[in-house]
Each structure stands twice: as C-alpha cells, then as structure tokens.
Structure 1
Amino acid sequence: MNYVYILRCNDDSLYTGWTNNLEKRVKAHSNGKGAKYTKARLPVELVYFEEYENKVEAMRREYAIKQLKRKEKLMLIKK
C-alpha cells in the first residue's frame, strides 16, 4: 500500500507527504530523520492519512493536498 499523510508539527504547521511504509516514515520524521521541514519542527504528530493501491495515485493526491489552503486541510483532517 501507499499512503498520503499529514503531520502536525510542534509549531502547529502541517506537513504533507507520501510513503509506502507509513509507520516507518512517521517514526523517521519523529526521530529527526524525515524531511528537513519537520526536522526543525519536532515533535510531530500523525493527524491524517489515506491509502492508495499505487504510488502514482498517492503522489497525485499528495500534490492535490499540498495545493489546499490551511483551512481546507484542517477540514480534511476533521472528517
């Protein structure tokens, strides 16, 4: 499976990414070995994710979520 996920960072910002191993990726972010963005904003919390059959679908969805405004992302998380 492939996953699109949103993390809430320590400064209350949101980070969106994709992976094929959600548990491992969130752990990497939490240990400061994920993205440069999250490394400077620890700790992080997984607040949302979606599953996809293939990488292309997940990457398209990641891009779509990244185009959303913060308010729209928060509404997505609340659902």
Structure 2
Amino acid sequence: MATHKIYYFYVLLCDDQSLYGGFTTDVGERFATHRAGKGAKYTRLHRPIKVLFSQAFDNKHDALHAEWAFKHQSRQKKLAFLADQGVTVD
C-alpha cells in the first residue's frame, strides 16, 4: 500500500531578518539541514533562526508553485502574505 506524500511550502526568518522560502516533505528535518549549513546556498550565507510559516499541499507541483510565487515578490509583499496568514515578523 503506497502512502500519499505531503509537500510543504515553508518560510524561514534568517539572522539578517531576510526571508527564505522553500519546499520539502519534512519541514523540521529541512530546517535542521539549513541550520547545519547544508541546505540551500542562500541559507549558508543567511543563517535561518526560525520557521515562520508552513503550508501543506497534496502534490509537489502546488508546493513548488507556492515557493516560486513567494520568492518572486518584493519584501513588502512577502510580509503582507505572512500577515495575511497571521504571521508577524519581529
């Protein structure tokens, strides 16, 4: 019996107050990878300090689309998106 994979779009707050968006099947494990300096090139230079937001999707395509849409916005629009989700960046 095959299990259905859940994919997540997530947003990290980095130590320089920048925001990083990504996708994964395990947010906690991926955050640990980023914190260990073994994740994306961006998070090796901008160390993540916490997961601000994550959203589950039934398929990889939708999670990747959410990541792409987030990454291609201005910081102001990223903050507005997070505020719409009830997330404040402090």
Normalising by structure 2, what TM-score?
0.80
Query: Are the equivalent residues in 1 in contact too, given 2:12–2:48 (CA < 8 A)?
Result: no
Structure in which a larger fraction of residues adopt helix: 1
Q: How many correspondences in the alignment? A: 79
* Runs (5+) with no aligned partner, structure 2: 1-5
For 1:65 and 1:43, the matched residues in 2 are separated by 17
Q: Return the match for 1:23 from 20, 28, 32.
A: 28
Q: Return the match for 1:12 from 17, 25, 39.
A: 17
* Runs (5+) with no aligned partner, structure 1: none
Residues 1:59 and 2:68 are matched in the alignment: no
**Between Structure 1 and Structure 2, whose CA radius of gyration is higher?**
2
What is the Cα-based RMSD across aligned positions, in Å?
1.1
For 2:11 and 2:51, the matched residues in 1 are separated by 6
Deviation at 1:40, TM superposition (A): 1.5
Are the structure 2 counterparts of residues 26 and 51 from structure 1 closer, same or farther at C-alpha, using a change threshold of 3 Å?
A: same
Q: Which runs of 4+ in 1 moved over 2 A?
A: none
Are the structure 2 counterparts of residues 56 and 25 from structure 1 closer, same or farther at C-alpha, using a change threshold of 3 Å?
A: same
Normalising by structure 1, what TM-score?
0.90
